[in-house]
Amino acid sequence: MPLPEAAFPGSNILILEPGTTDATNRANWSDMVVFTNTTVQLLFDGCNTGIDGDVSCFPTTFGLALAETPPITTFDTANGIRIHYRIHEDTGDAADTPEPNTMGLVCCGLGLVVWKVRRS
């Protein structure tokens, strides 16, 4: 994504999973923000491989590690500038939410059971 003004290239900001502080443990890595002079890229847990926890696309070094604090991750720079990131994981996984087709099938099944019981 293009940036509105120049940034320090290669500044990688590692976002840690909520409640973790050990940035050396890659299992704690949630997201990483990678800057060039004019763009920013968000790398996220999974690296588009479909494997939860895969951080193979993340650079191995980073400039700053922050604990994820939804809904806004905030930190103060050395020169007193407060930075806000609206980067966080949604609560719950998509796998926890049933598909509409599944709910429809369950409702149809329950309806058939009720109909069968009433006919008996």
Digitized pLDDT (tens) for each residue of the chain, 120 residues in all: 777 777 777 767 777 777 787 888 888 888 888 888 888 888 887 788 888 788 888 888 888 887 777 677 777 766 777 777 776 555 555 555 556 677 677 778 888 888 888 887
Check: CB of residue 56 under 8 Å from CB of residue 49.
yes
Q: How far apart, in whole angstroms, are the C-alpha atoms of residue 91 and residue 98?
A: 15
pTM: 0.58
Rg from Cα positions in the chain: 22
| Cα three-residue angle 33-37-41, rounded to 5 degrees | 25
Q: How far apart, in whole angstroms, are the C-alpha atoms of residue 31 and residue 51?
A: 14
* Residue of 94, 76, 74, 96 whose CA lies nearest to 85: 74
